[in-house]
Chains A and B, each alone.
Chain A
Amino acid sequence: EAQVTQNPRYLITVTGKKLTVTCSQNMNHEYMSWYRQDPGLGLRQIYYSMNVEVTDKGDVPEGYKVSRKEKRNFPLILESPSPNQTSLYFCASSMGRYGTQYFGPGTRLLVL
């Protein structure tokens, strides 16, 4: 089944404790992206990647890192999480820059 998977689905952590949210897709998509969803703000793009080793900032990249060492994986790293990073995070992928983005199930993060 074609899908985007994220892990973990739920995470509670404390300020400053480094964490990684994994994202994997099995559709051989070049383009992958991370978003955060906050009430009243819709979805905002954090980082995106056009292909392996090619990443770029979205609208809200501060406090986040990403890497794209393999085509199928695009982990999101929070090196020192803060409470304002409490949010619902979505990973997405698409076939190239013109494609439709398909989303993972979301990761709900709470930073205390």
Chain B
Amino acid sequence: AQKVTQAQTEISVVEKEDVTLDCVYETRDTTYYLFWYKQPPSGELVFLIRRNSFDEQNEISGRYSWNFQKSTSSFNFTITASQVVDSAVYFCALSVPNTGNQFYFGTGTSLTVIP
């Protein structure tokens, strides 16, 4: 069975602090994809990143970085020098093509950045 766990329900940080959002996934398949999406207060879902299971290189995009570790089945997301505009709900998701490409989402982490 596939599952994504985001244990942090809500996080509050003060502006300019760094924050890490945790994501732990479960799958027996060797081929899978991991995603992060952002849902700002306006409600839309914004794609942030996609990684496949064969690429464990960490990725950095501006203030955002992602740490993919197969050994711990984790795909954590770090925001450096947080800003108020980062306030949103962040979802981690897993896709396993061999199961028909169902998507499995975590329950989300609500991040509030306090000015």
Is B62 an interface residue when CB atoms closer than 8 A count as contact? no
Contact of B44 among A43, A59, A100, A106 (CB under 8 A): A106
Residues of A within 8 Å of B107, CB to CB, are 40-42
Residues 90-115 of B at the A interface (beta carbon under 8 Å): 91, 93, 95, 97, 100-108
**Which of A35, A41, A43, A92 has the most chain B CB atoms inside 10 A of its CB?**
A43
- The interface on chain B, measured as residues whose beta carbon lies within 8 A of the other chain's beta carbons, has a size of 22
Q: What is the CA–CA distance of A36 and B57 in the complex, to the nearest angstrom?
A: 32
Cβ of A102 under 8 Å from chain B: yes
> What 1/0 mask marks residues of chain B from 50 to 82 whose CB sits below 8 Å from any chain A CB?
100000000000000000000000000000000
Asked whether any CB of chain B lies closer than 8 Å to the CB of A31, the reply is yes
Interface string of A13-57 (1 = CB under 8 A from B): 000000000000000000101010000111111001010000010
5 closest cross-chain pairs (CB), A and B = A97-B101, A103-B45, A42-B107, A43-B105, A42-B105
